[in-house]
Structure 1
Amino acid sequence: MKIVYISTYAPRECGIATFTNDLLNAVLVTGSADLISQDVVAITDQKESYLYPDEVKFSIQQDNQHDYIQAANFINSEQYDCCVLEHEFGIFGGVSGLYILSLIKQIHIPLIVNFHTILEKPSTDEKAILIEIAKRASKIVVMTQHAIGILSRVYQIPVEKIVCIPHGVPTYSKSQQQAKADLQLAHKKIILTFGFIGRNKGIETVIKALPAVVRSNPEVVYLIVGKTHPNVLRHSGEEYREFLQQLTEDLKLTDYVQFVNDFVDIDLLSTYLSACDIYVTPYINEAQITSGTLSYAIGAGAAVLSTPYWHAVELLGEGRGVLFPFKDAITLGVELKKLLNSPAELIDQRARALEFGKNMTWTKLGENYLSLIREASLNYSFDSTKHLELAIADLPPFSLAHIRRLTNQVGIIQHATYSIPNYKEGYCLDDNARALLISLMAYEEFEDAHALELMPTYLAYIHYAQRPDGLFHNFMNYGNEFLDDIGSEDSFGRTIWALGYLFKASPLTSYYQLGQEMFFRASTNFENLRSIRAIAYVIMGISHYLEHQPNDENMIERMRVLSNKLVHEYKVSSNSNWEWFEPVLAYDNAILPLSLLQASKFLNDEELNFMVLKTMRFLEEIIFQNGYLSIVGNQDWYRQNQLISKFGQQPIDVTATVLMFYEAYKLTNDAQYLEKMTRSFQWFLGENDLKLALYDAETKGSCDGLESYGINRNQGAESTICYLISYLTVHKALK
């Protein structure tokens, strides 16, 4: 059995690193050294470097996404039987640790995930990431029953996928008397708190409770064992420890409080725990699903006083400890004195804790984990094509809800803040033209009543934006004032694309008539276009028009002139290693070969057909290098012999790619294009570089793009329309 763990790891000073090290040892002791092989992929933080032990075979720099992909390749090459992920949001790179998705979704072996933190009120990213991890996992391990309820209720994870294995504790070999003697505290009553120090630990509550305690128990000493948490140290230094020390001095407790500023090893920690009479966890927030320090204290047979955070409520039930209210130093003082002044009760509570702790030893945990690993390995079968398959039943329900949210009586608002229309940004012709297109497609595919209702709004905006010379204004503020004299060529081209589609899909004659007037009024400007994308959009509009009027020789000739412009640009810019229309791959790239694919149906030009296939292959090799769609980002684009800009990926490029492969499939009936079309669409559903869906099932909108930090959670008109165009195209192709 060959196992690989993804985690922080010793000598990094981190609770999860310690946990993983203990787990490896427990599994090794449970199994046989001859039969069990265990390696670690270690997460390294903030450009630190560690002298890792031999079992660490690969190190990931936390904020370098490429390292996660390389780690996946390493794991796949080493023929492991199972992978165990120790998950905590803060130890992985990207927003809310999203980079870990790039790793786990690329490996070919079963995955067991141990969630060390589970949030009842997660952010959008935290929830999405945890759900994606859970989907990939064969089994999920949590340490409390309460965690199972949260995963089921908040994240809709099936309970049968979840296993509760409590936090492990060491076997304590020293008696209390011996441990106290070793610490030179033989005649003291020891109160202990250990672990990383930070404001959320609430240690000041214990210090404030001590004056009332030491008056009747002068032999008491409170030990605060642990370093300041590294993240706290980086941002706030020792501010909290200094506050606690000052508080100790102000309350005249320096003889009763000792600070041990060290990340103690397991042997010394065991001594402290064995020595203590009362262990206190005074955390200030209930939302802590697991506390390793609390588990260790129970395992050591300490009498425990704790605030009622989730893990404490569960672990200290049935008389194994005492709960006191958050930040309540008075009640804590009362409970401390009660235990210290009642030796029999103190002994009884310690005995109950010790008995329960026998079920939490690392030996028992090793057995549970090894059994789970063997089960997962036995039942897992990797299917390299599974995630690529897509049927109509797999598609989310079709909905224009977000489009309707963005649309008012004037038109569609171009931007949104999250899913809320941003009126400050006003309207644009581009989005209203695309909105007309999607309403036509939706009515054509589903006879959607909402689509029919929305059409005249978008048509009216386009009509209002057209100038007498056939050109258009583009941007308009929320006060209905145009902000430009003449809009961009691209906005002109997109409008012609939508008006062309109106010819073949208009549900009402009056819509057709108005569209026809605007189309031909604009047509006098076709030959003046210089933008190659505007030319491509117009070619697509003409193509849709010709599907309705195939014998219009004048329009066929206009299409030929425009197509020749694209051919000319190709000949100027291309070479043996660069089969493209310009010296850069920028935005909406697939629209260029797509337009010529549509033109080829009417132009009967073999040279054109051959050139289109070359440009399609060239583009495909770039955007499918990793087996999924990874389009060129808008940060720096892509020039020959330079790095491809990975982020700033926009839905508009995905939609053009979906349409391109669909058009190729229609022309050739080659199933490979159908498969590439569905793979391209799955970019919206999470098959992308960040492994997160951009489609929002709650709002029915699409997020605006993939950025280096994560998902751009705004849901503007362009992104949602692009998702819906892609959706309807795939639906039409698969039905």
Structure 2
Amino acid sequence: MKVVYISTYVPRECGIGTFTNNLLESAKNIIQEVDIDYEVVAINDAGQLYQYPPEVKFIIQQENQEEYLTASDYINDTANCCVLEHEYGIFGGQSGIYILPLLSRLRIPLVVTLHTVLEKPSYNERAVLTEICKMASSVVVMSNKAIGLLQRVYNVPIEKIIYIPHGVPVFHQQQVAAKEDLNLMNKEILLTFGFIGRNKGIETVIKALPKVISRFPNIRYIVLGKTHPNVLKHSGEEYRAYLENLVDQLSLNKHVLFINEFIDQEGLLSYLSACDIYITPYINEAQITSGTLSYAIGAGAAVLSTPYWHAKELLKDGKGRLFGFKDIDGLSSLLTELLGDPTKLKELRETASYYGQQITWPKVAEKYINIFNSTVNAVHIHTPKKSVELNLEKLPAFSLEHIKRLTNHVGIIQHATYALPNYKEGYCLDDNARALLISLMAYKEYKDPMALSLMPTYLGYIHYMQRTDGKFQNFLSFNNGFLDKIGSEDSFGRAIWALGYLFNTAPCDGYYQLGNEMFFKAVQNFDSLRSIRGIAYTIIGICFYLEYNPNDEGMIERMRNLIQQIINEYNISATERWHWFEPLLAYDNAILPLCLLQSAKFLNDDTIISIGLKTMTFLENIILKNGYLSIVGNQKWYHKDKNISKFGQQPLDVLATVLMFDQAFQLTGQKEYLEKMYISFMWFFGENDLRISLYDYETKGCCDGLENYGVNRNQGAESTLSYLIAYTTVHKTFNNL
């Protein structure tokens, strides 16, 4: 069996890398008993080069998305089991999101070790960890507190969670010999080690020392470790300088020693063996695992700590003593008590040492090996989904809650800052047309009373924005000032789409009469449209009107002329390998095949159907080739014979794709299009390139898109309206089967 670890790794100065190296080396030492080989996929931080040991077979640059995907292929071809050492900060993207596409592509079992479990994660932190745990066969944690958090905050089933304590080295050196080696004989040694940063609370120990030194003048407090790389990057050595100044102010220069090194294992063991009292004065309780604390226990040190989560759990039953956060006097009292009572000090050390012998790296490695064996041999193996299960019951309930949040008496605000309306950006016709469409759809499909109450607001906005010549203005400021003289053809077409849908769905005659008036006032402008997407939206609106009045020959002829414009564009751009209407794929692409397929019901023309299906298949082969929807991003679009822009992907394009496959099913009756429609819709729920949901279960809104850093967490009108229209389309089609 071959096991591949994904982790930082030595010689990179990172606690996760050290953990992985210790675990792997210990596992190698018992390899004679089990036939397991180990490799490492190492995560590199930006711009750094390391001389990795031979077990590192693959390297991922932290912020290079493509290398994560290449790594998944390597792991699948190489290993029987994958182990992820997870810490948010070591992977690329927002909250380490780049690791999700790699894990989703694995065809082998996944074991995850969590080094951080947050009680109050951000939205993205929770989403990323939840997805990781869903894909894992086993989730290993190093404290019982983490077990409860995983169940309560991240909804991880208890049967997946395995507790294995943090491993510690086997300590051989006696304290006296260690002190001699370090030239610290006849000194009472206090020690804190690990990466240095403000959250470590080292100033608490320094401020506690004067009272203690007055009774025990031979004290030496050693602060062993470099400044944390992230702290160094953003704040430099500001914290270390503060501590050094504090030592000067308190005249403690003879008693406090800073060793600014990332010390090797042998040196660390010497300092731990030599120390009398080990102190972790952290200022925040939310630390689920502390390797430094575990090492101190393993060394048989008397440990004093603030009551952060891991310390409260690890130091119970006499393995150490606790003092309050930033409690200078409490720490002084404890130090004075223990240094003045050798018997108590010896008791603490012996209790800690006994426990430390139970959690040495070889013993911990055995537990991991047992997990690898049982995971690989288990019947259930994590594999990527070949297709999405068609199950509407798993979807959240339909809700217009976020749409209502964005709507006032004028209309729907077009943009949001997170889940709140951004009034500075005002309103637009595009979104109010979409909002009218979904309110009509929702009332027809669900009899939603909120849809009925919001409907006149959106209809009123469209009416307010229509000019005397039948065209529309698009943008309106929050103080109701017009921001353009004439709107885009896209916004015109979207308004016609919504007004066309109104003919068959108006809940009262007043709405029908106003919609009818606006629609026919705009008709005179149909023939002058030139934007290919504006034409497509208008065609869709005409199709809805013709469902109400299929005998309007004049309107059918107008639609035929508009369709011909789109076909002309296809004939100009299409080649043997490029079956499309333009020399690029830009935004809202699926709307173009959709309008052809939708018009086929009213235009008896095989050419229209043929081009509609041909261009749909061409688009499908680009955006649905990996078994999930990966739409063309708006960063650079997709120009013929060039690379596809992967980000930012927007919900608007997903909606068009859902509608396109739905219409293909309605036209052909082929059920394969149902599955493709549903797969496309599930983009909103994580079946996408970043493997993360854009639907927000708390706000009932939809995030604005997938960016190269992660999810754009703003929840503007276009995004949520696109989600809701797609949702209702899927719901209606499946309910009518």
Give distance in 1, aligned partners of 2:668 and 2:238.
Answer: 69
SS state at 1:85 partner: strand
Give distance in 1, aligned partners of 2:80 and 2:140.
Answer: 18
1:532 aligns with 2:514: no
SS state at 1:216 partner: coil
Cα shift readout 1:645-678 (whole Å, capped 9, x = no counterpart) = 2112111111001101111111112222211111
What letter is aligned with 1:710? G
User: In angstroms, what is the RMSD of aligned CA positions?
Assistant: 1.6
Residue number in structure 2 paired with 1:48: 48
SS state at 1:191 partner: strand
Residue number in structure 2 paired with 1:169: 168
- How many Å apart are 1:437 and its aligned residue? 0.8
Residue number in structure 1 paired with 2:260: 261
Give distance in 1, aligned partners of 2:61 and 2:234.
Answer: 20
Conserved 8 A contact 1:436-1:498:
yes
Conserved 8 A contact 2:68-2:101:
yes
Residue number in structure 1 paired with 2:340: 341
Residue number in structure 2 paired with 1:208: 207
- How many Å apart are 1:605 and its aligned residue? 1.6
Conserved 8 A contact 1:62-1:91:
yes
1:636 aligns with 2:646: no
What letter is aligned with 2:495? T
Q: How does 1:180-329 map to 2 (within 5 A)?
A: 180-329=179-328
Residue number in structure 2 paired with 1:2: 2
Give distance in 2, aligned partners of 1:588 and 1:33.
Answer: 59
- How many Å apart are 1:711 and its aligned residue? 1.0
Q: How does 1:391-402 map to 2 (within 5 A)?
A: 391-402=391-402
Give distance in 2, aligned partners of 1:712 and 1:275.
Answer: 51
Give distance in 2, aligned partners of 1:241 and 1:460.
Answer: 63
- How many Å apart are 1:447 and its aligned residue? 1.9
Give distance in 2, aligned partners of 1:361 and 1:384.
Answer: 36
Conserved 8 A contact 2:304-2:322:
yes
Conserved 8 A contact 2:106-2:384:
no
Conserved 8 A contact 1:303-1:321:
yes
Cα shift readout 1:661-705 (whole Å, capped 9, x = no counterpart) = 111111112222211111111111011111111111111110111
SS state at 1:42 partner: strand
Residue number in structure 2 paired with 1:372: 371
Residue number in structure 2 paired with 1:160: 159
| 4+ residue segments displaced more than 4 Å | none
What letter is aligned with 2:716? G
Give distance in 1, aligned partners of 2:192 and 2:472.
Answer: 71
SS state at 2:113 partner: strand
Give distance in 2, aligned partners of 1:267 and 1:685.
Answer: 49
Using a 3 Å threshold, how does the CA distance of structure 1 residues 656 and 165 change in structure 2: closer, same or farther?
same
1:66 aligns with 2:58: no
SS state at 1:360 partner: coil
- How many Å apart are 1:21 and its aligned residue? 0.8
- How many Å apart are 1:383 and its aligned residue? 4.8
SS state at 2:714 partner: coil
SS state at 2:326 partner: coil
Residue number in structure 1 paired with 2:98: 99
What letter is aligned with 2:578? W
The more displaced of 654-663 and 435-444 is 435-444
Conserved 8 A contact 1:556-1:602:
yes
Cα shift readout 1:452-506 (whole Å, capped 9, x = no counterpart) = 2222222122122222221112111222332222211111100111111112222
SS state at 2:214 partner: helix
What letter is aligned with 1:487? G
- How many Å apart are 1:139 and its aligned residue? 1.6
Give distance in 2, aligned partners of 1:254 and 1:512.
Answer: 85
Conserved 8 A contact 1:9-1:20:
yes
Give distance in 1, aligned partners of 2:304 and 2:92.
Answer: 36
Residue number in structure 1 paired with 2:564: 564
Conserved 8 A contact 1:197-1:228:
yes
Give distance in 2, aligned partners of 1:233 and 1:469.
Answer: 63
What letter is aligned with 1:499? L
Give distance in 2, aligned partners of 1:260 and 1:664.
Answer: 69
- How many Å apart are 1:386 and its aligned residue? 5.8
Residue number in structure 1 paired with 2:724: 724
Cα shift readout 1:3-36 (whole Å, capped 9, x = no counterpart) = 1111100111110101001111233334437601
1:150 aligns with 2:169: no
- How many Å apart are 1:519 and its aligned residue? 1.1
- How many Å apart are 1:602 and its aligned residue? 1.7
Cα shift readout 1:498-549 (whole Å, capped 9, x = no counterpart) = 1111122223233222221211111111001011101001110111111222
SS state at 2:204 partner: helix
Give distance in 1, aligned partners of 2:451 and 2:247.
Answer: 69
- How many Å apart are 1:426 and its aligned residue? 1.8
What letter is aligned with 1:727? Y
Residue number in structure 1 paired with 2:403: 403
Give distance in 2, aligned partners of 1:331 and 1:728.
Answer: 62
Give distance in 2, aligned partners of 1:179 and 1:483.
Answer: 77
Residue number in structure 1 paired with 2:596: 596
Residue number in structure 2 paired with 1:465: 465
SS state at 2:184 partner: coil
SS state at 2:84 partner: strand
- How many Å apart are 1:359 and its aligned residue? 2.1
Q: How does 1:694-733 map to 2 (within 5 A)?
A: 694-733=694-733
Give distance in 2, aligned partners of 1:442 and 1:383.
Answer: 37
Cα shift readout 1:36-88 (whole Å, capped 9, x = no counterpart) = 1111111000121111111111111001111111111111122x222111111
- How many Å apart are 1:273 and its aligned residue? 1.1
Conserved 8 A contact 1:594-1:660:
yes
What letter is aligned with 1:620? E
Conserved 8 A contact 2:205-2:281:
yes
- How many Å apart are 1:304 and its aligned residue? 0.7
Conserved 8 A contact 1:391-1:734:
no
Q: How does 1:2-41 map to 2 (within 5 A)?
A: 2-32=2-32, 35-41=35-41
- How many Å apart are 1:234 and its aligned residue? 2.5
Q: How does 1:464-503 map to 2 (within 5 A)?
A: 464-503=464-503
% identity of equivalent residues? 62
Give distance in 2, aligned partners of 1:443 and 1:478.
Answer: 28
Residue number in structure 2 paired with 1:356: 355
Conserved 8 A contact 1:438-1:721:
yes
Using a 3 Å threshold, how does the CA distance of structure 1 residues 387 and 183 change in structure 2: closer, same or farther?
farther
Residue number in structure 2 paired with 1:389: 389
What letter is aligned with 2:164? I
Give distance in 2, aligned partners of 1:295 and 1:431.
Answer: 56
Give distance in 2, aligned partners of 1:699 and 1:221.
Answer: 54
Give distance in 1, aligned partners of 2:7 and 2:561.
Answer: 60
Conserved 8 A contact 1:629-1:683:
yes
- The total of aligned residue pairs comes to 734
What letter is aligned with 1:397? A
Q: How does 1:677-692 map to 2 (within 5 A)?
A: 677-692=677-692
The more displaced of 508-517 and 60-69 is 508-517
SS state at 2:730 partner: helix
Give distance in 2, aligned partners of 1:236 and 1:713.
Answer: 28
Give distance in 2, aligned partners of 1:507 and 1:301.
Answer: 78
Residue number in structure 1 paired with 2:624: 624
Give distance in 1, aligned partners of 2:402 and 2:434.
Answer: 14
- How many Å apart are 1:410 and its aligned residue? 2.1
Cα shift readout 1:346-367 (whole Å, capped 9, x = no counterpart) = 0011111112222211122112
- How many Å apart are 1:414 and its aligned residue? 1.3
Give distance in 1, aligned partners of 2:673 and 2:77.
Answer: 30
What letter is aligned with 2:20? T
Conserved 8 A contact 1:661-1:673:
yes
SS state at 1:11 partner: coil
Give distance in 1, aligned partners of 2:219 and 2:455.
Answer: 79
Give distance in 1, aligned partners of 2:479 and 2:217.
Answer: 75
Conserved 8 A contact 2:304-2:320:
yes
Give distance in 2, aligned partners of 1:387 and 1:613.
Answer: 22
Conserved 8 A contact 1:580-1:618:
yes
